[in-house]
Amino acid sequence: MTAKRAATAILTLILIFAAGPASARGGVVLALSGGGTRGLAHIGVLEVLEEEGIPIAGIVGTSMGSIIGGLAASGYSSAELREVIAGLDLTNLLSEKTNPIFVPLSQDSVSPRSKVPWVAISSSGDVVGPLGGMSGVKLLERFAQLASRSQIVRFDELAIPFAAVATDLETGEKVVLRTGSLATAMRASMAIPALFDPWPVGGKLLVDGGLVSNLPVETAKELFPGYPVIAVDVSGTLKKRKDIRSLVDVIDQSLTIFTRRNVENEIMKADLVISPSVAGVPIFDLTHASRLIESGRQATMDRMAAIRNLAENAPPVAQRESLCIAATVASIRVEGATADLERRIKNRYRYWIGKPLSNINMVRASREIGDQEDVLAVDYRFEEAGENLDVIFVVQRNPELEINFGGYTTNLHPHRWVYIHGVRRDLFTDGDSLRFNAKVGSQWGIDASYLTSPEKSKSWELTLSAQNWELETNKGTRSWDRYAAGVTRRFAMGSFQAGLGYAFERVHTGGIDYDASGPTLFLTSNTLNDPTDPTSGALFHLQAWWPDMEEVLYRATYFQAARLSDNWRFYFRAGFAEGDETAAGGNRAVFLGAAEELYSYSGNPIQGERMFWWNAAFRRILMKSWWGALNTEIFGGMGFVYDDTGNRYRDAWEAGISFSVPGFLFDGKLMFLYNDEKDFKVGFFIGSPVWGHYPLP
């Protein structure tokens, strides 16, 4: 890159001489402390320095200071940082739940989908538990999107030179991150122990830098000698006993106690200290964002005379070499993947080689790789290759074995379970997986599903299941055991997924066995922008089975989401199902309410040949926090049931209001219902249901 560097040097000289007297003011270095969302005060500090024309020669950040500092160093203005914070949904970013707000009955609904395993076995055979309450994968993905405007190898090449401080969990030593992925550096620096998983970087397991240097003045002095260092301290003060009310408060208080010594040691070495008023603000509370930013502004303006004096006596900001935006891709490399996954990634993106680097393509590719079943997280970095760049994808794989425990209970119907769910990966080949789920309760069930490949568009799926069901319907008690096996070829293209297969079933009821087999089909289109709090898009799902080539059984469901305002959502769902009341002793009929199509009929579903239903809900988000949200919904719905002659013989409706607490630690809902039978019910739901495959075997 010699020619490009020479051109940069010439341009620098031109700019220096053209700048005239305005260039006389020197630069300052910022040391930004950690402090959770209290670190939003850093934006106010940056905003005032920007308005006053104070050049920034470098930024060193710890934890939240590394996030705000890293984005500012990437070229984000203070106004853009305000926009980023305003659009940030911390609840969803911290949520480890992958249970969507609406799940159609399908193969994807037979297993709970928590991302935090209770027990896991690594590739080396070691048994491990969760290393933190939250994996932080969503945060990494968001950081990668925000940092994608910069194509750099070293953080010195950013608009403002930058470094992030983390702690080596094995040795307890300070780690200063200055190269590689900016998103990874920010994610590692804010890995608060017990709350977030440690983050692997360069063979080290890193946690929050606040443990060793929560206010990184010493590092700033070492990296930028000769420049005055302004320390911005938002580490906060100790809470009163009455303010310690949650696990996060305990962790926050413990970290403040633990980091106070290193903050006191380093703050004395700063040339100037800015201490915004952040007392009393929880570490994961964005509701005080405006107040915190304003606090940062006010504290900076109070010290502006001293800041100007420092800048006027400081050396000028050093001119930096910048990586040419027109660099092309020299090669694709992969770290952390199996040989098979590495080969697939290289083959998929080798057409990039020789073409200009595209940040949009990088973010999209990371998302595509991360969607594979055996991948936990994906990041990327660049390395110089002459005048061009090598692209390196850094892959974190899921553990070979994960086991989760959970349950579901309600007072409205008898379907209550305790379940164990597991995934075994790399069983026969790299990337294959075996999922299993066992539930016990008033009914029982066992499911196993084997996928030959983590790529949804190239996978065969083999399924085995055994289920016991008992329903108290309007036509009497239905009880049966169902055993099934099937094979499916999966396909995927864009937002569509599909599968064609063949399935066998045996239903045992009333002492008689009913056997059937036939082709199966499923089709899914998913354009929801978020699975847990969608504000736009739709989800359509169709599944069908043709037992003995006689009558096709199918079920189609549709879900639509819309954002009405920051705190209001509108949801609409509808469905149609076709059964066969005359087959398998009547146990292939449809049952309106059995899968909570209408909540008030879940304990006494309506049996028929086919059914149609719809629901509409207005959701108001009352409160959001790191652990989830508190919502209220006003909803209503109707259902129509037809007999085997095609006559609509039963209409039903319900309306109600509910309060729900969806979160990664707890899922609960309290519901008040009224229906067409003038029946008023109060119901509660705890946990996530595991319904099964219906109508597929």
Catalytic amino acids?
A: 63, 208
H or E segment to which residue 544 belongs: strand 538-545
Distances (CA, A) of 644 to 514, 543, 547, 557, 580: 20, 21, 17, 21, 8
Query: What Rg do the C-alpha atoms of the chain give, in angstroms?
Result: 29
Please state, as a whole number, how many other Cβ atoms lie within 10 Å of the Cβ of residue 464: 15
Distance CA 164, CA 610 (A): 60
- The amino acid occupying position 362 is M
Closest CA to 376 of 425, 427, 331: 425
- The amino acid occupying position 541 is H
Q: Rounded to the nearest 10 degrees, what angle do helices 78-86 and 41-52 cross at?
A: 150
Distance CA 143, CA 150 (A): 12
Distance CA 457, CA 387 (A): 37
Please state, as a whole number, how many other Cβ atoms lie within 10 Å of the Cβ of residue 98: 12
Q: Are 207 and 198 in contact (CB under 8 A)?
A: yes
Q: Are 436 and 422 in contact (CB under 8 A)?
A: yes
Closest CA to 533 of 663, 444, 420: 663
Distance CA 670, CA 659 (A): 5
Distance CA 174, CA 183 (A): 19
Q: Are 394 and 168 in contact (CB under 8 A)?
A: no
H or E segment to which residue 164 belongs: strand 162-168
What DSSP state is assigned to residue 298? H
Closest CA to 687 of 666, 657, 658: 666
* Three-state DSSP state, 658: strand
Closest CA to 258 of 185, 177, 176, 192: 192
Within 8 A by CB and 6+ apart from 653, the residues are 598, 636, 637, 638, 639, 675, 676
